[in-house]
């Protein structure tokens, strides 16, 4: 039986030693034995979750990148760059019937290349400043040692 690493496990309040459908993990969750449904306990569960560690500090930048990604996909569809490759049938439990899911060609994602170019350009500048700083410090130390030797 497959379970999800989410609130369904927390609501049961017992040790789960089954595989998860999301991350395919099989770790026993001993920390989940006596978990109540209070908000504080939910936050504690998120902190011990082994699905994937994503720090709260980077949430804002990840959200912005997700918005850029979604907008790029939508603009590609509007421009006609993302054509329909195939339709995949699957059973929808809500509608109780087989529905078609469209698979489209990948988008260009030019924004990723632009961001990487900006990052690498700034990275090179930082290295140049670092080298200049090292040379300046070396000259100052050379002068200081020259004064001490005289």
All residues at 6 or more sequence positions from 21 whose CB lies less than 8 Å from its CB, including other chains: 2, 3, 4
Rg, C-alpha atoms of the chain? 27
The per-residue pLDDT for 118 is 87
Residue 145, pLDDT above cutoff 70? yes
Structural contact between residues 109 and 72, judged by C-beta atoms closer than 8 angstroms: yes
Question: End-to-end distance of the chain based on CA atoms, in angstroms?
Answer: 82
Residue 14's alpha-carbon distances to 9, 27, 28, 30, 122, in angstroms, are 8, 13, 10, 8, 50
The per-residue pLDDT for 8 is 45
Q: Which uninterrupted H or E stretch holds 131?
A: helix 110-149
The per-residue pLDDT for 124 is 67
The per-residue pLDDT for 51 is 67
């Amino acid at each position: 039986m497959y379970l999800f690493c989410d609130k369904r496990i927390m609501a049961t309040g017992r040790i789960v030693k089954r595989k998860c459908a999301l991350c395919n993990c099989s770790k026993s969750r001993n920390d989940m034995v006596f978990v109540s449904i209070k908000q504080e306990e939910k936050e504690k569960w998120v902190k011990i979750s082994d699905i994937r560690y994503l720090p709260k500090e980077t949430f804002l930048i990840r959200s912005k990148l997700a918005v850029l990604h979604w907008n790029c996909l939508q603009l590609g569809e509007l421009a006609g760059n993302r054509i329909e490759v195939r339709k995949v049938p699957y059973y929808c439990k809500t509608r109780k019937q087989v529905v078609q899911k469209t698979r489209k060609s990948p988008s260009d994602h030019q924004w990723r290349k632009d961001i990487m170019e900006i990052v690498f350009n700034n990275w090179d500048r930082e290295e140049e400043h670092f080298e200049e700083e090292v040379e300046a410090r070396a000259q100052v130390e050379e002068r200081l040692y020259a004064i001490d030797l005289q």
